[in-house]
């Protein structure tokens, strides 16, 4: 079966794009997206005192995306269970967060 490209999709998909593009996609829904990498986690909202009071098991989805025709690539980290908080970062911001998390993990490991 041959999959036809929508008429509005004039650019090639990035290598990581797994999204099925359709002719009837609303202009706001015309974006490239990778398959989510699932991460089992324990997380909370941080709105309670102590901060750990809201911790619960969850699954995080991590994926990359970019709107069609745009140069800005972003990463999304979101809880897959309600209330589904979402963090959207540019690749530059995600890199800075990656470095900061690494530094904080080193501090946590050194303090054991």
69 is a domain residue: yes
54 is a domain residue: yes
20 is a domain residue: no
For 44-53, b where at least 16 C-beta lie within 10 A, e where not — what string? eeeeeeeeee
Q: Which domain holds residue 47?
A: 27-110
35 is a domain residue: yes
Q: Are 65 and 88 in contact (CB under 8 A)?
A: no
Inform me whether the pLDDT recorded for 3 exceeds 80: no
6 is a domain residue: no
Domain count, the chain: 1
pLDDT tens-digit map of 52-71: 888 889 999 999 999 999 99
Q: With a threshold of 0.75, does the pTM exceed it?
A: yes
pLDDT band at 2 (very low <50, low <70, confident <90, very high): low
**What does the pLDDT average to over 3-24?**
93
41 is a domain residue: yes
What percent of the chain is predicted at pLDDT more than 90?
Answer: 76
> Using the 8-state DSSP alphabet, how is residue 4 labeled?
P
Inform me whether the pLDDT recorded for 1 exceeds 60: no
Inform me whether the pLDDT recorded for 50 exceeds 50: yes
């Amino acid at each position: 079966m041959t999959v036809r490209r929508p008429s509005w999709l004039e650019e090639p998909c990035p290598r990581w794009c797994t999204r099925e593009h359709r002719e009837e996609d609303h202009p706001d829904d015309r974006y490239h997206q990778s398959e989510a990498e699932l991460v089992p986690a324990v997380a909370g909202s941080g709105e309670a005192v102590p901060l750990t009071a809201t911790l619960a098991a969850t699954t995080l989805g991590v994926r990359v995306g970019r709107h069609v025709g745009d140069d800005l690539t972003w990463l999304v980290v979101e809880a897959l269970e309600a209330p589904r908080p979402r963090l959207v970062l540019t690749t530059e911001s995600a890199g800075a967060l990656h470095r900061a998390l690494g530094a904080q993990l080193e501090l946590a490991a050194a303090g054991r």
